[in-house]
C-alpha cells in the first residue's frame, strides 16, 4: 500500500502510473482505519504484474560485446530493451525516492571473463529484482516503475533521473509523514527488534534450504548426463565390429543377439536422461528460483534495517549530540558575558539545530512507520513457503513417475540379455541367492 496521502508534483500527475482502477480496487488499496495496516494477500501481490527478462546478446564492433535484456511487462502490455546500467540507475532512483522501503539489491556488475553461466545467473537475478519491485505496493504505483517498464526511448537513464530530481523522497511527498508517530504502537522499538531477529532466523533457514535445493536440482542434471553416457556406452558396445576369434565361434550367435539388444537400449537411456534433465530444470525454475526470490526479499529487509540504524537514527543521535554541545557553548557564552552579536548568532544556530532535530525525529518515526509496513509485507510473502514446497513435491512425484514408466517399458527389452544354456530366455537375476557376486 502506498503511503496514504502521498502526492507527487503536479507536472507528474499527467502521467498515470497504471490503468484506471475500479472503485472496489481503490478500496482494496486504502483500507479503512489505521493507514499503517496493509490489507494485501499474497495472491494480490503476485498478480500485480509478471515481468519477463530475456537475454538479447549483441556485438558492437569487432571485439566489444554487451548484453541487452528484453523486459516485458504483462501489466503495461509492452516490451522494452534495457542494459544492466539502466537497471543500476533505476535502482539508485528507487533508493533515493524510497530510502525507508525494501529496495532489492541488484546482482553484481559484469566481471572480467564472465561466462555464459554468470550471464544467465545475472539475468535470473534481474528478473527477480524487477518482479519484486513491480509487486511492491508503493513502487507498483509510482511513475518510476511505469517509465522503466514502458519507456522505449534511448535516454531512459536521464528520464529516470529527471523524475526524481528536485522532488524529494517519500517523506517529503507523503501527507502522513509528520503524523507517523500517531499511528505507531507504543512498543514499536521492541516490535522492531523482535521482527528483525525473527526475519534473520527465517533468512538463515531459507538460505540453507536454497543451498540443498540447488544440490538436488544439480544432482538430477548430473544424473541425466550419466544416464545418457551409460546408454551411449551400451550402444558402442553393441555396435562393436571386432571379429570374434575362432575359439569363441560356439558363442557367436549369443554375442550377436546380446549386441543387438545392447545397441537398441541407448534410445531408452536417452529418454531417461531427458526426463532427469527436465526434472532438474523444473526444480531450478520452480523451487530454487522461488527460494532465491524470497531470499532477495528477506535480504532487502535486512538491508533496510541497517539503513534505518546507520541512516536516520544515527543522524538523529549526532544531531542531538551537536545540539547538546551548542547548549553548553551558549551557557559558557552567557557566563562569560560575550558580545551580544556572537550570542545572537549562537542562539540562531541553536534554533536551526532544534528545527533540524525536529525534522529528524519526524523522519525517524516515518522510517519506523515504513518499517512496520515492510515487516507486514514480509509476512504476507511467508505463505510462498507452501508454494515452494508444493512445487518441490510435485516435481519429485512427476519426475519419478515419468522415469518409472520408462524403466518399466525398458525391462521387457532386456529379456534377450538373460539367455539360459538352451538359448531360452531366463528371468533376470534378482534374488540374493542367484546373485553372481554372492558368496
Spell out the residues 6+ positions from residue 196 whose beta carbon is closer than 8 angstroms to its own.
302, 305
> DSSP states of 6-29 as a string?
----GGGTTS-SSS---HHHHHHH
pLDDT in tens, 184-204: 999 998 999 999 999 999 999
pLDDT bucket at 115, cuts 50 / 70 / 90 = confident
Does residue 52 contact residue 127 with C-beta atoms inside 8 Å?
A: yes
CA 351 to chain centre: 46
Say if residue 13's pLDDT is above 80.
no
Task: Write the CA distances from 57 to 69, 109, 315, integer angstroms.
Answer: 8, 16, 45
Residue that has been written with the C-alpha cell 537400449 in this structure: 265
Say if residue 418's pLDDT is above 70.
no
Spell out the residues 6+ positions from residue 214 whose beta carbon is closer than 8 angstroms to its own.
284, 288
Opening angle at CA 23, ends 20 and 27, nearest 5: 115
More confident residue, 427 or 97: 97
More confident residue, 381 or 56: 381
Grid coordinates representing 49?
Answer: 504484474
Supply the pLDDT for residue 204: 97
Please give the average per-residue pLDDT across 282-308, as a whole number: 95
**Neighbouring C-beta atoms of residue 383, cutoff 10 Å:** 12
Residue 431, SS3 per DSSP: coil
More confident residue, 125 or 166: 125
The Cα 90–Cα 103 span in angstroms is 11
Say if residue 66's pLDDT is above 90.
no
Say if residue 270's pLDDT is above 70.
yes
Please give the average per-residue pLDDT across 133-137, as a whole number: 97
5 backbone φψ class: left, alpha, beta (φ>0; ψ -120 to 50):
left
How high does pLDDT run on average in the chain?
A: 81
Domain ranges of the chain: 42-173, 288-416
Supply the pLDDT for residue 114: 64
Please give the average per-residue pLDDT across 23-33, as a whole number: 39
Topology adopted by domain 42-173: PX Domain (3.30.1520)
pLDDT bucket at 22, cuts 50 / 70 / 90 = very low
pLDDT bucket at 127, cuts 50 / 70 / 90 = very high
Question: What is the CATH class of 288-416?
Answer: mainly alpha
Supply the pLDDT for residue 23: 36
The Cα 195–Cα 91 span in angstroms is 26
Helices and strands (H, E) in the chain, number of each type: 15, 3
Grid coordinates representing 24?
Answer: 472496489
pLDDT bucket at 423, cuts 50 / 70 / 90 = low
Give the chain's length.
439
What's the pTM value of the predicted model, to 2 decimals? Answer: 0.78
Q: Which of the residue ranges 19-28, 37-46, 88-97, 417-426 would you say has the lowest mean pLDDT?
A: 19-28
**Neighbouring C-beta atoms of residue 369, cutoff 10 Å:** 25
Residue that has been written with the C-alpha cell 539503513 in this structure: 307
Please give the average per-residue pLDDT across 53-64, as a whole number: 67
The Cα 149–Cα 143 span in angstroms is 10
pLDDT bucket at 24, cuts 50 / 70 / 90 = very low
Amino acid at each position: 500500500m502506498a503511503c496514504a496521502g502521498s502526492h507527487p508534483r503536479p507536472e507528474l500527475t499527467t502521467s498515470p502510473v497504471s490503468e484506471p482502477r475500479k472503485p472496489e480496487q481503490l478500496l482494496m488499496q486504502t483500507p479503512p482505519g489505521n493507514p499503517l495496516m496493509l490489507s494485501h494477500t499474497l495472491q494480490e501481490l503476485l498478480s500485480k504484474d509478471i515481468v519477463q527478462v530475456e537475454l538479447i546478446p549483441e556485438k558492437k564492433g569487432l571485439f566489444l560485446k554487451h548484453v541487452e535484456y528484453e523486459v516485458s511487462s504483462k501489466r503495461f502490455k509492452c516490451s522494452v530493451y534495457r542494459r544492466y546500467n539502466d537497471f543500476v540507475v533505476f535502482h539508485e532512483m528507487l533508493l533515493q525516492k524510497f530510502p525507508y522501503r525494501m529496495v532489492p539489491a541488484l546482482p553484481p556488475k559484469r566481471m572480467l571473463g564472465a561466462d555464459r553461466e554468470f550471464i544467465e545467473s545475472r539475468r535470473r537475478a534481474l528478473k527477480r529484482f524487477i518482479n519484486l519491485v513491480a509487486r511492491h505496493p508503493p513502487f507498483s504505483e509510482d511513475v518510476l516503475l511505469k517509465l522503466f517498464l514502458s519507456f522505449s526511448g534511448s535516454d531512459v537513464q536521464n528520464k529516470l533521473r529527471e523524475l526524481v530530481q528536485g522532488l524529494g523522497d517519500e517523506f517529503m511527498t507523503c501527507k502522513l509523514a509528520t503524523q507517523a508517530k500517531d499511528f505507531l504502537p507504543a512498543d514499536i522499538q521492541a516490535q522492531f527488534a523482535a521482527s528483525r531477529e525473527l526475519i534473520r532466523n527465517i533468512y538463515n533457514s531459507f538460505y540453507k534450504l536454497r543451498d540443498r535445493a540447488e544440490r538436488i536440482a544439480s544432482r538430477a542434471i548430473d544424473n541425466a548426463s550419466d544416464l545418457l553416457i551409460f546408454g551411449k556406452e551400451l550402444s558402442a558396445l553393441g555396435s562393436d565390429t571386432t571379429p570374434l576369434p575362432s575359439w569363441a565361434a560356439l558363442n557367436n550367435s549369443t554375442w550377436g543377439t546380446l549386441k543387438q539388444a545392447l545397441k537398441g537400449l541407448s534410445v531408452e537411456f536417452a529418454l531417461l536422461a531427458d526426463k532427469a534433465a527436465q526434472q532438474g530444470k523444473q526444480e531450478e525454475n520452480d523451487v530454487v528460483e522461488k527460494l532465491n526470490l524470497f531470499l532477495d526479499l528477506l535480504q532487502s529487509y535486512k538491508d533496510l534495517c541497517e539503513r534505518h540504524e546507520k541512516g536516520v537514527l544515527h543522524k538523529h543521535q549526532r544531531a542531538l549530540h551537536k545540539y547538546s554541545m551548542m547548549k553548553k557553548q551558549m551557557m559558557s557564552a552567557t557566563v562569560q558575558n560575550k558580545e551580544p552579536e556572537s550570542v545572537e548568532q549562537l542562539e540562531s544556530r541553536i534554533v536551526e539545530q532544534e528545527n533540524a532535530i525536529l525534522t529528524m525525529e519526524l523522519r525517524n518515526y516515518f522510517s519506523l512507520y515504513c518499517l512496520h509496513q515492510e515487516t507486514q509485507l514480509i509476512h504476507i510473502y511467508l505463505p510462498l513457503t507452501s508454494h515452494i514446497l508444493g512445487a518441490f513435491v510435485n516435481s519429485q512425484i512427476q519426475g519419478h513417475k515419468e522415469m518409472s514408466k520408462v524403466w518399466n517399458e525398458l525391462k521387457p527389452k532386456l529379456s534377450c540379455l538373460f539367455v539360459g544354456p538352451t538359448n531360452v530366455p531366463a528371468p533376470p537375476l534378482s534374488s540374493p541367492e542367484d546373485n553372481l557376486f554372492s558368496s
